[in-house]
């Protein structure tokens, strides 16, 4: 049960894009074709391993309905990672991404890692948003991108883990203040020695950038 780091995630996106199903697939490894509408937020957790380190992911799955927006906004600030989900078979959910992203950027800490997810990739025949469009949107806004299927579990694991990897990389670079829990990151119980890894990684990073500038 011990962990090196604890990351807080939120899952956001329009209603019905499969946020709760993604979480269920990730935490319970099962798929529920008919899922109740999420009321407010629901909590889920799982342990993952990155670079040999145990990392605990605490995930808050938010309601996509507009009426819950004010509630779900309260969760942006304290999250280290966000999965922004749209449905590849419904273009309008893709069109709303900009407003979701604005909301997230406005209420979250600037370092929050955002993973753009095109869900329901198993419904290729009903596809309404091309993969390239998702990729382009992600590139334009500096997001990581993946297409997933909560039904077949395709890429679900990867989506959560790659987000964690990105956060971990940012920690190594010293971009996150791991001692401020408001960032959605917590150091594990007996990991106090490893805290020096953050700052320790800092100089190396700066050295890298230094050599870069020297090159130019």
From 53-61, 108-116, 168-176, 205-213, give the range in contact with other proteins by CB under 8 A: 53-61
To other proteins, the closest distance from the beta carbon of 151 in angstroms equals 23
Q: Which of 16, 35, 41, 128 binds other proteins (CB under 8 A)?
A: 41
Q: How far apart are the first and last CA of the chain?
A: 47
To other proteins, the closest distance from the beta carbon of 42 in angstroms equals 5
Indicate the residue among 73 and 96 with the shorter CB distance to other proteins: 73
Indicate the residue among 23 and 129 with the shorter CB distance to other proteins: 23
Does 107 engage in binding with other proteins (CB under 8 A)? yes
Contacts (CB under 8 A) with other proteins, residues 145-184: 181
- Structure tokens, 88: 């590849």
Does 26 engage in binding with other proteins (CB under 8 A)? no
The span from the CA of 44 to the CA of 183, in Å, is 18
Q: Which of 75, 86, 145, 176 binds other proteins (CB under 8 A)?
A: 75
36 conformational bin, left if phi > 0, alpha if psi -120 to 50, beta if neither:
beta
Does 8 engage in binding with other proteins (CB under 8 A)? yes
Does 16 engage in binding with other proteins (CB under 8 A)? no
Does 19 engage in binding with other proteins (CB under 8 A)? no
Q: Which of 29, 71, 179, 205 binds other proteins (CB under 8 A)?
A: 71
Indicate the residue among 16 and 40 with the shorter CB distance to other proteins: 40
Does 42 engage in binding with other proteins (CB under 8 A)? yes
Residues that bind other proteins (CB under 8 A): 1, 8, 40-45, 56, 58, 60, 70-71, 73-75, 77-78, 107, 181, 189
């Amino acid at each position: 049960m011990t962990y090196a780091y604890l990351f807080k995630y939120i899952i956001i996106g329009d209603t019905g894009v499969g946020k709760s199903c993604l979480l269920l697939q990730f935490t319970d490894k099962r798929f529920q074709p008919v899922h109740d509408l999420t009321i407010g937020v629901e909590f889920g957790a799982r342990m993952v391993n990155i670079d040999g380190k145990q990392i605990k992911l605490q995930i808050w799955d938010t309601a996509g309905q507009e009426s819950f927006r004010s509630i779900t906004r309260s969760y942006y600030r304290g999250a280290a990672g966000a999965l922004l989900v749209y449905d590849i078979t419904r273009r309008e959910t893709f069109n709303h991404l900009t407003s979701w992203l604005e909301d997230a950027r406005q209420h979250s800490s600037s370092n929050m890692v955002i993973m753009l997810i095109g869900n329901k990739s198993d419904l290729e025949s009903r596809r309404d948003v091309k993969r390239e469009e998702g990729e382009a949107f992600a590139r334009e806004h500096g997001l990581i991108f993946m297409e997933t299927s909560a039904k077949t579990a395709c890429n679900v694991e990867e989506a959560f883990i790659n987000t964690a990897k990105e956060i971990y990389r940012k920690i190594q670079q010293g971009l996150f203040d791991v001692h401020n829990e408001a960032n959605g990151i917590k150091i594990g119980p007996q990991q106090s020695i490893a805290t020096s890894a953050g700052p320790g990684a800092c100089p190396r990073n700066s050295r890298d950038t230094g050599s870069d500038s020297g090159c130019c």
